[in-house]
Amino acid sequence: MNRDSMLIEADELLTKLDDANIRIYDATILFFRNESEPTAYEQYLQGHIPGASFFDHQNFSDSSSDYMYMVSCETDLARHIGNIGIAEGSEVVFYTSGYLPCATRAWWILRYAGHNNVRVLNGGLSAWEQVGGNIEQGAQQYAATTFECRLRPYMFASKEEVQVALEDGGVCTVNTLTLESYEEAHITGSSLLPCGDLMHKMTSFLPNDQIVHRLKEEARHDRIITYCGGGIAATVNAMAHLMAGNENVSVYDGSMNEWVGEGLPTTKGGKS
């Protein structure tokens, strides 16, 4: 994989709006919203890229899990992907109105499901507006279709895999949250590389040469497992590794939500 196959810039997307095969989704999650403020969906209704539909992360999460955002089972995943209008040949673009990791999470899920032609809008909605892109109000929905999953199970790691990996010097398990969060509690034995160190203002990826430089220590390992609070921010680091040519990377889907919930070992302070 390379950067061009994973990201799309706003000026290129401008040229594609009339393509009947393209599917654009606002994948925004508002993590720190006050009850008086609009929801992510309401915000989408107030303004989005023309033709874009809304990607509701809850529909792609396992409703039976005790932990938020755990990816749903194959059957549910295929059904929901088809329901939002994505077929095998669709060209898919995910974007957000501010927080890039929401779009990278959607990208990771679709790639996990076996879809190949999917990219993230680098810079999100603000980049779209900066190149003169129009904004549309109201809801849009692509016609439902059929999607057949071809799962890539190696893209997600389970807690059991993480436990084994921590005893394996060839595997690098990486916390992608902030230093403050890491020092408060992290998986014992894991290292730290905040996802923000790979982005510009949390909305776009850094240039590839900078990404390669910041990942060079991790890239020396045989395998990398990224994690965060709930499997969202971790997808930024995982995508960055793929862009840097490091293919053997997985996201620990449960991340700290599951790890702490299951009473598994954590450490406070610096690297354990």
Domain with residue 93: its CATH number is 3.40.250.10
For residue 78, being part of any structural domain is answered with yes
| Strand-strand pairing, 186-187 and 91-95 | unpaired
Cα separation of 228 and 181, whole Å?
A: 10
Task: Decide which of 151, 169, 196 is a domain's last residue.
Answer: 151
Give percent of the chain with pLDDT exceeding 70: 99
Q: Which two three-digit tokens encode residue 174?
A: 């990486």
Residue 33 pLDDT > 80, yes or no? no
CA angle centred on 6, ends 73 and 255, rounded to 5°: 45
For residue 82, being part of any structural domain is answered with yes
Task: Decide which of 93, 126, 151 is a domain's last residue.
Answer: 151
Give percent of the chain with pLDDT exceeding 90: 95
Q: What is the pTM of this model?
A: 0.96
Cα separation of 133 and 270, whole Å?
A: 45
Cα separation of 262 and 150, whole Å?
A: 30
Question: For the chain, how many structural domains are there in total?
Answer: 2
Is residue 21 located within the same domain as residue 99? Answer: yes
pLDDT at 271: 60
- Helix (H, G, I), strand (E, B), or coil: what is residue 176? coil
pLDDT at 1: 87
pLDDT tens digits along 74-103: 999 999 999 999 999 999 999 999 899 999
Is residue 94 located within the same domain as residue 188? Answer: no
Task: Decide which of 151, 172, 187 is a domain's last residue.
Answer: 151
For residue 69, being part of any structural domain is answered with yes
138: left (phi over 0), alpha (psi -120 to 50) or beta: left
Is residue 147 located within the same domain as residue 158? Answer: no
Cα separation of 206 and 25, whole Å?
A: 22
Is residue 162 located within the same domain as residue 128? Answer: no
Domain encompassing residue 184: 154-267
| Strand-strand pairing, 204-205 and 199-200 | antiparallel
What would the mean pLDDT of 1-17 be, rounded to a whole number? 96
Q: Which two three-digit tokens encode residue 104?
A: 């990278």
Is residue 174 located within the same domain as residue 123? Answer: no
For residue 272, being part of any structural domain is answered with no
For residue 101, being part of any structural domain is answered with yes
What would the mean pLDDT of 119-146 be, rounded to a whole number? 97
What would the mean pLDDT of 182-197 be, rounded to a whole number? 97
Mean pLDDT of the chain: 96
